[in-house]
Amino acid sequence: MKVEIKVPTMGESISEAIVGEILKTSGSVVAMDDEIIELETDKVNQVLYAPEGGVIEIIVNTEDTVTIGQVIGYVDTEGAASAPPPVAQSKPREETPAVTPATAPANAQSPDQGARITKEDYVSEIKVPAPAQQVPPPQVVTQAPQAPTATPVPVPQTPAPVGERAEVRKRMSRLRQVIAKRLVEVQQDTAMLTSFNEVDLTQVMALRKKYQEKFVKDHDVKLGFMSFFVKASVSALKAFPDVNAYIDGADAVYRHYYDVSIAVGTDKGLVVPVVRNCDKLSFAEIELEILNLAKKARKGGLVVDDLLGGGFTITNGGIYGSLLSTPILNPPQSAILGMHAIQKRAVVVNDEIVIRPMMYLALSYDHRIIDGKEAVSFLVHIKNSLEDPARLLIDV
């Protein structure tokens, strides 16, 4: 029986996809739930799995455009039973080199006879003169000699130098194409501006060090920096609602929920899955949700619903060593917070120079809906919340 392989529904806003990598070629024997093909959309790449075990037949090619519900192949469930089993390759038998008669003495006995050649036998054998060999008479050539054939001389092939002005053309993935397109659109369609500040993370690092062991024991996840930044951002979004709004035509739409997108780098590009209802989640729940979404993103397991929505984005370039950068907006959102590397620097506290773990913060925002005063105040609110984390408990 042939079972159809169809393009599944991948979200309300997605009607088509591009055939990416074909993981199982036609004629391959697959088991149920084997990865068979990867589809690329403008939001996420999705792997399709074999619905049944059998012999697979793919009727589309790489880079073909397919629509939701389209049949792209079949699995012949009866084909696996009739497929010939793989032939086991036997190890080649080692051959024992034979003794040539010319190298053995004339009176030598074979090893099968159990005899050995003595020194006296060998000496007596070599004293006997060898019979004169008869040389055959020379043959008279009756045909005209042929012209000698020229032997072709192989021309050495010089290998092309590796890495010397070499170019390799590779098609960008659908996801990478969409990322590139949207980044350009953001620059053209928004009045993007960036404000900077710095934060002293002494108190946050002290809390993590003090409670890390018990936190991991109770919640089975580490207490990271990201949960502090998410909580601080939610507090700032409540204080400055324009940052949680977006422009739709001539209207400004204000969100009364707090869904935060967390940027995750993968081999195929940057994705921003959403942690929803962050105002209602604990520190542990935020850390667990971020960990699960990051694992799904790196394994290619994100679905469209993981990416939809989101009112504010946090991106952490510090994990790659970035000291300062200007993050680009994630449309239709109006603001994005950039975290950077933590460095010990000399700062002035109470008129004294001290060494503190400092991080530069960057807030990029759409100036069409967010004024500079609000943006700077928003960033200062985050700074104050992180330098005195007790504020997050009493919501000030």
Instruction: Tell me what pLDDT residue 63 has.
Output: 82
Residue at which a domain ends, from 34, 55, 81? 81
On whether residue 269 sits in a domain, the answer given is yes
Instruction: Tell me what pLDDT residue 141 has.
Output: 47
Least confident of 75-84, 185-194, 289-298: 75-84
12-62: per-residue pLDDT in tens?
Answer: 667 788 888 888 899 899 999 898 998 887 667 788 889 999 999 999 998
DSSP strand pairing (260-262 vs 312-316): parallel
Q: What mean pLDDT, rounded, does the chain reach? A: 83
111-128: per-residue pLDDT in tens?
Answer: 444 445 555 665 565 555
Residue 106 reports pLDDT greater than 80: no
On whether residue 236 sits in a domain, the answer given is yes
Q: Give the mean model confidence (pLDDT) for residues 82-107.
A: 48
Sequence-distant (6+) residues with CB within 8 A of 23 are: 35, 36, 37, 38, 47
Instruction: Tell me what pLDDT residue 96 has.
Output: 47
Instruction: Tell me what pLDDT residue 372 has.
Output: 95
Asked if 73 and 192 sit in the same domain, the reply is: no
- Minimal CA–CA distance to 266: which of 239, 301, 310, 234? 301
Asked if 180 and 34 sit in the same domain, the reply is: no
Asked if 63 and 182 sit in the same domain, the reply is: no
Asked if 72 and 180 sit in the same domain, the reply is: no
On whether residue 313 sits in a domain, the answer given is yes
Global pTM value: 0.68
Asked if 77 and 182 sit in the same domain, the reply is: no
Choice between 388 and 165, residue whose per-residue pLDDT is larger: 388
Q: Give the mean model confidence (pLDDT) for residues 71-99.
A: 62
Residue 102 reports pLDDT greater than 60: no
Chain mean position to CA 286: 24
Asked if 180 and 68 sit in the same domain, the reply is: no
> CB of 57 within 8 A of CB of 73?
yes
148-203: per-residue pLDDT in tens?
Answer: 544 555 555 555 556 688 999 987 777 777 778 888 988 899 999 999 999 999 99
Instruction: Tell me what pLDDT residue 351 has.
Output: 95
300-318: per-residue pLDDT in tens?
Answer: 788 888 988 899 999 999 9
Sequence-distant (6+) residues with CB within 8 A of 354 are: 346, 347, 348
> CB of 257 within 8 A of CB of 265?
no
On whether residue 131 sits in a domain, the answer given is no
On whether residue 146 sits in a domain, the answer given is no
Number of residues that make up the chain: 396
Residue at which a domain ends, from 42, 65, 81? 81
Helix (H) or strand (E) holding 270: strand 269-271
Q: How many separate domains does the chain show?
A: 2
DSSP strand pairing (312-316 vs 335-339): parallel
Instruction: Tell me what pLDDT residue 387 has.
Output: 97
Domain hosting 209: range is 174-394
Q: Give the mean model confidence (pLDDT) for residues 356-385.
A: 97
Asked if 178 and 76 sit in the same domain, the reply is: no
On whether residue 157 sits in a domain, the answer given is no
On whether residue 388 sits in a domain, the answer given is yes
CA distance 223 to 282: 11
> DSSP state, 42?
S
Q: Find the CATH number of the domain harbouring 19.
A: 2.40.50.100
Instruction: Identify residue 145 by its one-letter amino acid code.
Output: P
Asked if 178 and 281 sit in the same domain, the reply is: yes
Residues involved in catalysis:
367, 371
Instruction: Tell me what pLDDT residue 182 has.
Output: 82
Q: Find the CATH number of the domain harbouring 198.
A: 3.30.559.10
Which residue, chain included where needed, has tokens 């018990």? 214
Asked if 213 and 355 sit in the same domain, the reply is: yes
List helix spans (H) across 53-118.
79-82
Residue 324 reports pLDDT greater than 90: yes
Asked if 222 and 360 sit in the same domain, the reply is: yes
Q: In which band, very low, low, confident or very high, does the pLDDT at 85 lie, cut at 50, 70 and 90? A: low
Residue at which a domain ends, from 81, 100, 116? 81
Asked if 247 and 370 sit in the same domain, the reply is: yes
Q: In which band, very low, low, confident or very high, does the pLDDT at 376 lie, cut at 50, 70 and 90? A: very high
Instruction: Tell me what pLDDT residue 174 has.
Output: 72
On whether residue 246 sits in a domain, the answer given is yes
Residue 360 reports pLDDT greater than 80: yes
